[in-house]
Structure 1
Amino acid sequence: MALDKPYTDVPGTIIFDAEQSRKGYWINQFCMSLMKAENRERFKADERAYLDEWAMTEEQKQAVLARDLNWCMRTGGNIYFLAKIGATDGKSFQQMAGSMTGMTEEEYRNMMIQGGRSVEGNRYIGENGDAQAQNQPQGAAGKKP
């Protein structure tokens, strides 16, 4: 029986739940392997060959090769595991987060210092939709029932 997942209605958000965990098991295991210096060296020497040692999907491998962290997350990657890729590339978490939002590191830092992203347009899908959708009653946490 499928579980009701009201959190899928948050725009631009991928929640790392049990389903994502199962989907991303191997990409996350690959990321954890980068904790060891010898594995980072092997990965940097021939990324594709190293990725091919893992039971990841081809899509997961392509997402890693593209360094597209949002794509990695859609395929089950957990940001805390994916941070190992950024560290292997010499990037800070702030640089990685900026890349995920389409901002430079400085733009991302300044946004966070100023309190983060506005909630307007970021609470639920359809929030900025037509007037009828705007006037429908809302449930807990601003979600539409």
Structure 2
Amino acid sequence: MTGPTDIHAYLAAFDDIPGTRVFTAKRARQGYQLNQFAMSLMKPENRERWKADERKYLEDWKLSDEQREALLARDYNRLLDLGGNVYFLAKLFSTDGLSFAQAVSTMTDMSFEEYTRMMVGGGRSPEGQRSIKEGR
């Protein structure tokens, strides 16, 4: 990039990529407590507390109501929208007994088997919608 750049316009362009949530500084700030919660699940005693009473365990964290509900619903796409980082959320997947691929497949409109076939076949096609704004 040359010349002056409006960083906000530059970062806003990432929101135009269908199905993609870029983990920006803004999302990092928004999701700090959410990601700290996820990291807490690295400790066996915290995983046990979480599994015993999820709502009670969430009382220890300064999360928004939306973040709490998305966690309880395991709405991973919403968690990403609310500042979650997929690599931190992997601690939640693992605690639930899901592989990374199993969890990520729930973020698509595909079954796990379809998702696996797509990934083994080289991943998502670059053909298709490339811009939300432009509908192309």
Task: Give the TM-score, by structure 1 length.
Answer: 0.83
**1:52 to 2:52 alignment:** no
Q: Which has the higher contact order (CA 8 A, sep 6+)?
A: 2
* Identity in percent: 53
Equivalent residue letter for 1:27: L
Output the CA distance in 2 between the equivalents of 1:48 and 1:121.
40
Runs of 4+, deviation exceeding 6 Å: none
Equivalent pair of 1:83/1:93 in contact (CA under 8 Å):
yes
Equivalent residue letter for 1:58: D
**1:112 to 2:107 alignment:** no
The Cα shift of 1:122 comes to: 3.7
1:81 to 88, 93, 97: 88
- Secondary structure of 2:62's match? coil
* Post-superposition CA distance 1:47-104 (Å, at most 9, x none): 0000111001111010000001001101100000011111000000010011011322
Task: Give the TM-score, by structure 2 length.
Answer: 0.89
**1:66 to 2:73 alignment:** yes
Aligned residue-pair number: 128
**1:18 to 2:25 alignment:** yes
The Cα shift of 1:2 comes to: 6.0
Output the CA distance in 2 between the equivalents of 1:2 and 1:51.
35
Equivalent pair of 1:121/1:127 in contact (CA under 8 Å):
no
- Secondary structure of 1:64's match? helix
- Structure 2's unaligned 5+ residue stretches are 1-5
Q: Determine the structure 2 residue equivalent to 1:3.
A: 8
Tell which structure's C-alpha radius of gyration is larger: 1
Output the CA distance in 2 between the equivalents of 1:50 and 1:32.
13
Equivalent pair of 1:95/1:104 in contact (CA under 8 Å):
no
Output the CA distance in 2 between the equivalents of 1:122 and 1:93.
25
- Secondary structure of 1:101's match? coil
